[in-house]
Amino acid sequence: MEHHADLTAQVIGAAIAVHKKLGPGFLESVYRRALQVELGRYGLRAESDAKLNVTYDHVVVGEFIPDLMVESRIVIELKASSTLTLAHEVQTVNYLTVTGIEVGLLLGFGGARLEFKRKHPHRNAHYRPVHPVSAPPVHPVPRCMNSPASYRIIDISRPLYTGSPHWPGDSATALDLTASMAAGAACNVGRLSCSVHNGTHLDAPFHYNSRGLTTDQLDLSLYIGPARVIDARGHATFTPALFHGLTDADLAAVPRILFRTDAWSDLTTFPTTWPLLDRALPAWLAARDVKLIGLDLPSVDELNNKDMAIHHLLDEAKILIIESLDLRDVAAGVYELIALPLKLRGGDGSPIRAILRR
């Protein structure tokens, strides 16, 4: 289904634009018409009256008219409710299954941010309704992870210490002792002062979105699980070409991407330039169900940026961010990532101790 992926990314980008301009609160018909207008600006044909045959045991038993049909290839289902539910997902999958359409997009316009889910039909010869299940999804992980004795732990965190590199103008790192055994105290007691964005850290959405989740509100499960290291060395811009040879299923199965660039090789100094994401990449990744990216760079935006544009694009795509990793000794491939934040109430980020296991 790789041939649908770029089209899906364009639809998501158009839907994000519609939600950004209209916000929540309108009828589905308003969002449908607005999305048709926006897709037209992309040069895409979106039909609101396309009739699809519903088959049962290879016999046509009725018709189905989706909210929108894009380029006769993708079914779009729009919802104006405050959140997308499992029932909405089941409904969309059933529509695809009985019509033979390979890809569907479920779009939710009723919340503070656009919700979107990419769905595929069931691969069975006959129509069978989808029934919700409560079991969590199972992600493929390297076989050695099943045996604790065989774990190899790779520390991908940069050290924090007094004077360690930090973003220009942000709070420096200071680590000292307020009580010292050398001075006669019963124990050593340390004190740490720093920006929450010093060293290897995550950005909570609240960092770049005043309505975003704070550090203590983050879903920790997104920071634990299979992660794919992509060798991006020598690339000034991260584009879909970096993922050549990977299918949509590959990316969806390992929804965390870590970019290794080796562009920040001197850990004692703060760089002034570094590679950046192509501005179309967040939507492209989101269309493939990627939930988190990490970089061995200080930021997803450039040093002198004024608008945090790439942060905002990732936020709109619902992709979380980890920055300032140390991936110098990590080969491309799939690992298990563990990168948990401190429970900072109201925080906009947090230092993390990030590791890979394999």
70-124 pLDDT, tens per residue? 988 899 999 988 888 888 888 888 888 878 888 899 999 998 888 998 888 865 4
Task: For residues 180-201, give the mean pLDDT.
Answer: 97
Place of tokens 């691969």: 123
Question: Which one is catalytic: 88, 120, 166, 207?
Answer: 207
Q: Express each pLDDT in 301-334 by its tens digit.
A: 999 999 999 999 999 999 999 999 999 989 999 9
In order of 52, 106, 205, 224, the CA distances from 141 in angstroms are: 39, 28, 27, 12
- Of 18, 23, 129, which is closest to residue 67 (Cα–Cα)? 18
- Per-residue pLDDT of 210-262, as tens digits, reads 999 999 999 999 999 999 999 999 999 999 999 999 988 888 888 999 999 99
Angle at 41 between CA 38 and CA 46, to 5 degrees: 60
Residue 312 φ/ψ region, left for φ over 0, alpha for ψ in the -120 to 50 degree band, beta for the rest: alpha
Both structure tokens of 261:
């660039």
pLDDT given for residue 150 in this prediction: 57
Task: Decide if 207 is catalytic.
Answer: yes
In this predicted model, which residue has the larger pLDDT, 186 or 4?
Answer: 186
Split at pLDDT 50, 70, 90, the class of 13 is: confident
Give the integer Cα–Cα distance in Å for 92 and 115: 14
Tell me the CATH class for 2-119: alpha beta
Question: How many Å apart are CA 288 and CA 311, to the nearest integer?
Answer: 19
Structural fold of domain 201-357: Glucose Oxidase; domain 1 (3.50.30)
Closest by CA to 293, choosing from 242, 358, 247, 234, is 242
Backbone angles phi, psi at 307, to 5 degrees: -125, 0
User: What are the boundaries of each domain within the chain?
Assistant: 2-119, 160-195, 201-357
318 Rama class: left (phi>0) / alpha (psi -120 to 50) / beta: left
Q: Report the predicted TM-score, pTM, of the whole model to 2 decimal places.
A: 0.65
CB 161 within 8 A of CB 191: no
